[in-house]
Structure 1
């Protein structure tokens, strides 16, 4: 038999039962597009359930979700977690209700592409694989900040997979074997950021199995469009640094001092700006090239500020179990 044909046959016949868990909070605007993306999945419909967990929304999210679930050609199970305001608590609610041997995760504001789930699940054909991370790319954006984040590939899993402490995948595009969750525990329900790294590291450090990257398993996600949103995003990254430092001993990022910041801005004004203006005149540069340095300094300082201000709550150390 042709080996290539054999591999294809094996891949096509590998269809374990999968439960996709999606936390949602005040996401009524995101629901129609999210449901369309789930309907477009090429994974066998009878082998997947979608557990969308409302996290105490104050809008019409839960009511709209229940309407979408009625008479839907795919299995959508609306759930609710209104005791703890945390996406990780909502994910735990979904995991507990799930029947799949593999639990996949994405977010309500993500847009999984049609081949997403099929590509994300295929690496699990190898028994030693217990975590699979797919790729996250940006939805098309026109603002300067969106273009900057796209250039930096801010959302890409390549950053988390290359983490200096230990690789991990973001829950916007992640799948985990149920048996690994049984052994290492679920998400920390009171944690508000950093839970994806924490759960992956607990699994990997217990040598339950290994992580694999599935680059063809793609979800799209929006970049931030305003400085306020961008600052909030990077402050959250800083809080995550602090929490993971306290939970796992991860090295904290160093501060960019005012002197260093001033020097880099002066260098930008005197050297980079004239250079980029000349390139722009020759149609070889754009605004992203021109403002790369100040935006980068802005995000770095926001991240450090979030790290400095954060303190891990005692409750956030609690791990939920199946």
Structure 2
């Protein structure tokens, strides 16, 4: 019997159909099923998910285990529970909405045998014919330097740097934090472009960009822990952030003008706010079909996004006691 060398860690939360697709993709690996195992860590702790893992394992011969989190703690904590339970020297990370391609594990294993310690694979995200603003933002994952959707580490590396910081309790910046800890430890990170996963872009509700603004609070935590690397490697989108602050400030100026009865202040504040809002609407409608739905989404998100962005940035700054841009 071949020795099990790699453990694939998959965090999941209430997406059984996507998880099934991911597990089926893993059954099609060119690497022998005896050589790897799969650990599904369920942040929802649902019996239906446990049954799904057992069913796929029984039907396909995939070596798969289920771990249920007693309470929801986020993907960082789920990944930590998974790799710490592993009995193999090599760990592979992907997500439940990803489809590892057949040579995914075998390609990485070759580099591990040659001495690699950390490997980053390639993410492909097929775009719809008319991608939305949210689709385009999501597709930036393809060019990200280090993502847990396609990552391989020796278990000893994870032990050395302490794994994932569980304060990042949503799917945002926990991968960057691990990346920066590995860099600080002086551990080489090698690309493994032939280890490919497909990450389909899922349809999202029109308000998804508003919901995602809460991620900004975790930028403050990442900056607090790694200020130099944050400045060097995290896109700042400086002018967009400045526009958001100016938009919020200009509306406040207009409201103050109303309170003090100064028409010039009212005109200056509201005019600047309206100009910035119209510019955002135009950007969000770029290359989009003009329908009632797209107009509503562009209008509401353009009106609300600056305020949510500023709120969550300030919330993070105060929560983690750090000032950052």
**Partner deviation per Cα, 1:221-254 (whole Å, 9 max, x = no partner):** 3245222223223432x13312201221235754
Structure 2 contact 134–208 (Cα < 8 Å) conserved: no
- 1:262-304, Cα deviation, whole Å (9 max, x unpaired): 445556889998xx8xxxxxxxx6649x99x989968974555
Q: Indicate how the Cα distance of structure 1 residues 104 and 171 shifts in structure 2: closer, same or farther if over 3 A, else same.
A: same
- Taking structure 2 as the reference length, the TM-score comes to 0.70
Q: TM-score, normalised by structure 1?
A: 0.70
Cα distance change, pair 208–262 in 1 and its aligned pair in 2 (3 A): same
Q: CA deviation at 1:21?
A: 0.2
Give, in whole Å, the separation in 1 of the partners of 2:315 and 2:45: 27
Equivalent of residue 124 in structure 1, options 112, 125, 129: 112
The CA deviation at 1:191 is 2.4
Equivalences, count = 277
Q: Return 5+ residue gaps in structure 2 as ranges.
A: 251-271, 321-325
Q: Distance in 2 between matches of 1:113 and 1:294?
A: 39
Query: CA–CA distance in 2 between the matches of 1:58 and 1:224?
Result: 24
Correspondence for 1:156:
141
Query: 2:94 matched to which residue of 1?
Result: 106
For the pair 1:79 / 2:67, whether they are aligned, the reply is yes
Number of the residue aligned with 2:259? none
Corresponding residue number in structure 1 for 2:316: 310
- Quote the Cα distance in structure 2 between the aligned partners of 1:63 and 1:41: 22
Residue number in structure 2 paired with 1:281 = none
How well do the aligned residues superpose, as a CA RMSD in angstroms? 3.7
Q: Give the secondary-structure state (helix, strand or coil) at the position aligned to 1:227.
A: coil
Q: Give the aligned partner of residue 27 of structure 2.
A: 39
SS of residue in 1 equivalent to 2:60: coil
The 2-side partners of 1:207 and 1:151 are apart by: 34
Say whether residues 1:235 and 2:222 are aligned partners: no
Instruction: Flag the 1:133–1:272 CA change in 2: closer, same or farther, 3 A.
Output: closer
> 1:83/1:235 Cα in 2 relative to 1: closer, same or farther (>3 Å)?
closer
Residue 15 (structure 2) aligned to one of 27, 41, 51: 27
Distance 2:282 2:179 in 1: 45
Contact 1:186–1:199 (8 Å) recurs in 2: yes
Q: Residue 148 of structure 2 aligns to a residue in which SS? A: coil
Deviation at 1:198, TM superposition (A): 0.9
Distance 1:139 1:65, change over 3 A: farther
Alignment partner of 1:306: what SS? helix
Matches of residues 62-73 of structure 1 in structure 2 within 5 Å?
Answer: 62-73=50-61
Deviation at 1:210, TM superposition (A): 2.7
